[in-house]
Amino acid sequence: MGMVERFSKLRSRWSRSFPPNLARLMLLACAALWGGSYLLAKFAMEAIAPQWLMTLRMTGACLCMLALFHKHIVPYLTPKIIIPALVVGLTYWGTMITQTIGLQTIEPGRSAFLTAAYCVLTPFATWIVSKTRPKIINLVAGVICLIGVGFVSLKPGGSLSLSIGDWLTIATAIIFSFNLTCLGVYTKRFDPIAVTFVQFAVAGVLFLIGAVFTEPAPNAGWLAPSVIASVLYLFLGATMSAQIMQNIGLAHVPASQASIIMCTESLFAVSFSALFWGERIIWSSLVGFALIFAAVLMSVLRPTKHSLHRN
């Protein structure tokens, strides 16, 4: 028996014997890591401007991916991948720039729930890009999500008001839904790891250009141990480790279960923010969060291949 055949049988046997509950725990850990990224990004931005922070995050992720997956990446770095790289890179950059700037003025938990609306919006982005009509349940989820955003925008006096940070975060959800749709198209033509790499690379270059021309230069405050730890968490924990655990979990847990588990990202985010950041949550926000979460669950109970993300 050849080496490749033996390895294939061993991998198949390992795959069958992998404990499903452990896979579910890995997906839950993945959601927790993503949920913690809102708080850590908010903390890091007290010392590092948003685009510099994202430059560090994208650079770290690219270097780690190149070191671990160069055999999947290098063969696809040809002129054919330039247009896909620009499309996914630009939409990912738009997603992250609106989210990080918005996060400067709103609380981490609020940001997480508004961002989670991308799950509801993705079927509609797919309709625009791929002409695949959304189902009735997607329309119902969209209405519930809109009502939820309305409750989030309620102020103690009863007036409706969304801050610039809220609007930027809603823009994050809209742009991210198109990013996921485009990823779904291009990962059918190229290795998904290669597409992810060029996405990070293009976004990183755009962040670097923006940081150099619009933000203060690096300073000694960046070297504080707590700031370094936050940046390491963002690209080693919330990007690399979470992605690996997601991929393993998805191989051993049905997609419908995995989607619901990973939707708890926003619950982790608001819990961490309330515990460690002191975020105060009024009753109308709680109602809004619950409605948005319900809409997200409705959208992923029968997930499409574009409905699972990545931070």
What is the identity of the amino acid at 31?
Answer: A
Q: Is residue 265 part of a domain?
A: yes
Q: Is residue 311 part of a domain?
A: no
What residues contact residue 191 under an 8 Å CB cut-off, 6+ apart? 72, 73, 75, 76
Domain of 84 in residue numbering reads as 22-153+162-300
Task: Find, among 233, 249, 234, 268, the residue nearest to 308 by Cα.
Answer: 249
pLDDT of residue 16: 54
pLDDT of residue 149: 82
Q: Is residue 309 part of a domain?
A: no
pLDDT of residue 214: 92
Q: Is residue 310 part of a domain?
A: no
pLDDT of residue 6: 44
In the numeric block, the tokens 């923006």 are attached to 210
Mean pLDDT by 10 residues, the chain (311 residues): 43 57 86 90 90 91 88 89 92 92 88 85 84 83 85 68 88 89 81 86 94 90 90 86 77 69 84 84 85 83 49 50
pLDDT of residue 213: 93
Q: Is residue 13 part of a domain?
A: no
Q: Is residue 17 part of a domain?
A: no
pLDDT of residue 160: 66
Residue 69 burial (C-beta neighbours within 10 Å; 0-12, 13-18, 19+): middle
Q: Is residue 4 part of a domain?
A: no
SS3 of residue 160 by DSSP = strand
pLDDT of residue 86: 94
Q: How many domains is the chain built from? A: 1
